[in-house]
Amino acid sequence: MIISDYYMPKVNGIELVKQMRANPLHNDIPIVIVSSDNSKESKEIGREAGASGWMSKPVNPKELRNIMHTLLQKGEKICLTKWPKKVVEIRLK
């Protein structure tokens, strides 16, 4: 799982999502964007880029834990069929 800020110096969170989704080895990793920009337009851009979720700043730890739990449960089934066993063990610990 990747949790990324929307605003970063070299590559913003949306570009990171696009790059990850374009790579077959990484395109199923859940990616959550964290941002102070919570406009519908920004969230839609994130969704279209392939972000798995969007969280508002400041981050609520309980909400983050719930999102992580949900996304990792969904991703586990994909990983077990697509990824080599050694990588799956590292990702699921």
| Among candidate residues 61, 52, 47, the one with its CA nearest the CA of residue 32 | 52
Instruction: Name the residue with higher pLDDT: 11 or 75.
Output: 11
pLDDT, tens digit (0-9, with 9 covering 90-100), for 28-55? 888 999 999 988 899 899 999 999 889 8
Cα gap 79→29, rounded to integer Å:
9
User: What pLDDT does 75 receive?
Assistant: 61
User: What pLDDT does 66 receive?
Assistant: 85
User: What pLDDT does 5 receive?
Assistant: 92
CATH class of 2-92: alpha beta
Averaged confidence pLDDT in the chain: 79
pLDDT(91) > 50: no
User: What pLDDT does 17 receive?
Assistant: 93
Domain ranges of the chain: 2-92
Q: Where are the alpha helices (DSSP H) in 1-93?
A: 13-22, 40-49, 61-82, 85-92
